[in-house]
Amino acid sequence: MAPLTLKNLGCIGLLLTFTLNVNASEYWTGGIGLESRQEAPQKNTRFEFFDQSRAYIADIDFTITNSTGDTLIEGLATGPWLILELPDGLYTFTGTQRDTKTQRRHPFSVRQGQSQTHRIQY
């Protein structure tokens, strides 16, 4: 009997791959105005984006990779907050502010039972 691999799983392999991608890509972005902030979900990892004058900014293209460099999540933060739930591990946030093209790289870790906020200045 052949070993079980994604290649010989056929449709089941596609389903497994799709499910993993959906679970890995869930995030919330917002935070413009009090109402949006009140609707923010409670997750273990939050990023806040601001400029040199400490004013909130938006439109950050971002990628979150794991410790082996695999991209887990990528998208556009359309608000100054990016909120997501990540399992324990080591990660790197890389973001580029669309207007200025300024890029930031921020390594971070997630530990069970701890919430954290990362403030990224552009």
Among 16-25, 39-48, 76-85, 97-106, the range scoring the smallest mean pLDDT is 16-25
CATH of the domain at 64: 2.60.40.10
Number of domains in the chain: 1
pTM here? 0.76
pLDDT at 108 over 60: yes
In a domain, 42, yes or no: yes
Cβ atoms 72, 24 nearer than 8 A: yes
Q: pLDDT-based confidence at 39, cuts 50/70/90?
A: confident
pLDDT at 25 over 70: no
CA-only gyration radius of the chain, Å: 17
In a domain, 21, yes or no: no
Indicate the average pLDDT of the chain: 84
Cβ atoms 116, 46 nearer than 8 A: yes
